[in-house]
A = this chain, B = another copy of it.
Amino acid sequence: MENNLRHLDSAFHALADPTRRAVIARLTAGAAPVKTLAEPFDMGLPSFLKHLRVLEDSGLILTEKSGRTRTCRLCASRLAETERWIANQRQLWEDHADRLANYIENQMSGEDTQ
């Protein structure tokens, strides 16, 4: 198991911004250069670059510079890792809810026979 704590901190932080989530959503349709990604947003390029940096630091995207353009692509494995943390908590919660339901059911049938 990796040192997930830092990963999760930065991944969740990266996802907590609508601009950055929109970039993720755009990248599901394939890699794109910075300028194309920045186009839809009413924001200066330096500001947008900071968002990209946050995404890259979180590992949710990978970028590669070729010539004067930088191409960005999604890193599905980091996305999956983040999803898995939530899924895991939900599973734990469901297990608990199941045990609780069983316990209550047993208590009630016990009362019937008392």
Q: Which residues of A contact B (CB under 8 A)?
A: 5, 8-10, 12-13, 15-18, 21, 24-25, 27-30, 74, 76, 79-80, 82-83, 85-87, 89-90, 92-94, 96, 100
Q: How far is the CA of A89 from the CA of B29 in the complex (A)?
A: 10
Chain B residues within 8 Å of A100, by CB: 30
Least distance between A61 CB and chain B CB atoms (Å): 11
Contact B76 A94 (CB under 8 A): yes
Give the residue among A25, A82, A90 with the most B Cβ atoms within 10 A. A90
Chain B residues within 8 Å of A21, by CB: 8, 85
Contact A28 B80 (CB under 8 A): no
Oligomer copy total = 2
Least distance between A113 CB and chain B CB atoms (Å): 27
Contact A74 B93 (CB under 8 A): yes
Least distance between A97 CB and chain B CB atoms (Å): 8
Least distance between A27 CB and chain B CB atoms (Å): 8
Q: Within the complex, which residue of B5, B82, B89 is in contact with A28, where a contact is CB–CB below 8 Å?
A: B89
Given contacts A28-B93, A76-B90, A83-B83, contact A12 B12 (CB under 8 A): yes
